[in-house]
Amino acid sequence: MPAEKDRLFHFPVPMFAIVMGLAGLTLVIDALGDPGTWIATVADVLVVIDLAVYALIAIIYLAKAVRHPDAVRAEFNHPVKLSLFPTITIGLILLGTATLTRWPGLAHLLWGVGAAGHLVLTLMILSRWMHQDHFEIQHSNPAWFIPIVGNILVPIAGVPLGYETLSWFFFSTGLMFWPLLFAILMNRYFFHAPMPGKLMPTLFILIAPPALGFLSWLALHPGSLPDGFALVLLNVGLFLTLLLVWQIAHFIRLPFALSWWAYSFPLAAITLATLRMAEASSDVFWNGLGMLLAVVTAVLIGALVVRTLVATARGEICQPE
């Protein structure tokens, strides 16, 4: 084992979740500003930052894979960290979505590589779950939704890029496994020991599947108003958001950890869904709720960026667990 000072050895794959949060914020700001406005300019700047952050994290993690392949292999064999590897491909899909109207060629490349890679990771992880011999119920946690979330996310950019049939395939896959995993996790929460505090923020990942499902359903039905199924998805996402906000006292006491970034993308997803509903319905309620969620999401992600930079400067990141 390398010395504890070797921070590259401990560089974690969840670092890619930072890109998910930043890209989610970019899409929220995109939804708020018309082309040519200062808000749109802010979104343009954020897209460049998102791409740079992803490239930096990818280079560092690739260096880890070259220098410490056993460490990467150990992460992939870990019952919790295994599910975090799809953050790599989800980041690419989100970057492809954020660049869709800016650089279509780049968006096509990012989305294509991300979707193909995510399908491979989904097959690998599900196969590992089916043939494992050491996972136990306490290993289950909301991060297990991450491989599923990526599939539900694909149509948002996939349909505009012209891959409607492929988008239906990914959406159907994600929608099939979402309730199955949800039932497993509810069984764990209700009848088994609570999760460790470090994993508590991952509860917010529960919001992502229905919120993204709403957005993808509308993408798969372009030009249509939200129907009954879309409204069910949106309202389930809102209820889960309310349920977690109700438990805010449990979250504010947690010490900072990289897992705090699990708050970011799910909140961005439900914000995007609410803003999309406001656009479709022109209802004052949805518009007001969307603006409120947008402010909360922006403040939260801004705070996460500052807190992560401070923790990095103090050497608190990339330490042995």
| Rounded-to-5 percentages of helix, strand, coil across the chain | 80, 0, 20
CATH at 198? 1.50.10.150
Can you give the pTM of this predicted structure? 0.93
Domain presence at residue 290? yes
For residue 59, give the amino acid letter.
I
- Per-residue burial over 192-212, b if 16 or more Cβ lie within 10 Å, else e, is eeebeeebbbbbbbbbbbbbb
What is the C-alpha separation between 298 and 25, in angstroms, rounded? 7
pLDDT in tens, 254-310: 888 888 999 999 999 999 999 999 999 888 999 999 999 999 999 999 999 999 999
- The candidate with the shortest Cα–Cα distance to 115, out of 103, 142, 97, is 97
| Residue 1 domain flag | no
What's the rounded mean pLDDT across residues 225-251? 94
DSSP 37-84: SHHHHHHHHHHHHHHHHHHHHHHHHHHHHHH-HHHHHHHHTSTTGGGG
pLDDT band for 34, please (50, 70, 90 cuts). confident
Q: Does the structure show a pLDDT above 80 at 4? A: no
Q: What angle do CA 119, 122, 128 make, to 5 degrees?
A: 145
CB 20 within 8 A of CB 94: yes
Query: Does residue 29 have a pLDDT over 90?
Result: yes
Domain carrying residue 170 = 13-313
**Higher pLDDT pick, 3 / 245:** 245
- Rounded to the nearest angstrom, the gap between the alpha carbon of residue 88 and the centroid of all alpha carbons in its chain is 10
Determine the pLDDT at residue 3. Answer: 47
DSSP H/E element including 142: none
Is 53 part of a structural domain of the chain? yes
Specify if 141 maps to a domain. Answer: yes
| Residue 113 burial (10 A CB sphere; 0-12, 13-18, 19+) | middle
∠ CA 192-197-202, nearest 5°, is 85
Provide the domain count of the chain.
1
Other CB atoms within a 10 A radius of the CB of residue 179 amount to: 10
Residue 273's alpha-carbon distances to 68, 75, 289, in angstroms, are 40, 33, 11
Is 8 part of any domain?
A: no
Closest CA to 90 of 119, 66, 62, 69: 119
In a domain? residue 320? no
Residue 1: pLDDT over 70: no
Inform me whether the pLDDT recorded for 94 exceeds 60.
yes
Distance, CA of 114 to CA of 45 (rounded, Å): 22
Coil, strand or helix: which one is 315? coil
Kindly state whether residue 4 falls inside one of the protein's structural domains. no
